[in-house]
Amino acid sequence: MSRTIYLLRHGQTELNAERRMQGHCDSPLTELGQAQARAMGAALRRQLGDDARDWHMIASPLGRAMQTARLVCEELALPAEVIQAEPRLIEVAFGEWEAAPVEQLHAEIPVLATQPNWHFNAPNCEPYEAVLARIEHWLADPQLPHQLIVVAHGLLGKILRGVYAGLDFDALWAQDMPQEAFYKLHNRELLRIECTLPV
């Protein structure tokens, strides 16, 4: 049986709304972020129907991912106790740029705006090779269940999708990091699933 992964990014946070780097520092979901999390849960419910109890929920241990996972569980009528924290899915650590305003960084270092992987220029940033290693280690883990709902992060999720689908450099970094859509990963293919926010 091939593994299927529904990969979600957490909803908008206060730092997201302020256009600040987040990394390992954390902030709670905004009202919009909570609505996004519930919309992802509702879209998942439409995908899974009554079979949600057969799926395993895994989330990054950071608060914003766990908060999103709890809201998704509510929409799926699952208890929050089913969520398993997975440290290998934590966001990339941005070193000295944690909580820094993105516009300020790009104004001070204009070349960043031309580099798709500019985040890894951060002083004391987690090396890209280390991020790849933990993603590959997680994907290859024989203990992983075959039906997974994963709540993680923007940059981590982009890299994970690229590794999973075998994307080249340009294709990997051209991907988006949505908070009002998520991806189904199956047979090395990526399927984007849109969510509908309440009006």
**pLDDT tens-place string over residues 126-173:** 999 999 999 999 999 999 999 999 999 999 999 999 999 999 999 999
**pLDDT score at 110:** 95
CB 147 within 8 A of CB 58: no
CA dist 88 and 139 (Å) reads 10
The catalytic residue positions are: 10, 91
**pLDDT score at 51:** 86
Residue 35 tokens, joined: 């609505």
**What is the average pLDDT score of the chain?**
96
pLDDT confidence band for 2 (50 / 70 / 90): confident
pLDDT confidence band for 199 (50 / 70 / 90): low
CB 59 within 8 A of CB 43: no
Determine the average pLDDT of the residues in 20-41: 97
CA dist 139 and 191 (Å) reads 18
pLDDT-wise least confident of 71-80, 136-145, 190-199: 190-199
3-state helix, strand, coil in the chain (%, to 5): 50, 20, 35
Q: Is the pLDDT of residue 49 over 90?
A: no
Parallel, antiparallel, or unpaired for β 181-186 and 147-152?
unpaired
CA dist 7 and 175 (Å) reads 14
Residue 57 tokens, joined: 């929920």
Other Cβ atoms less than 10 A from the Cβ of 114: the count is 8
CB 181 within 8 A of CB 7: no
Residue 183 tokens, joined: 């991806």
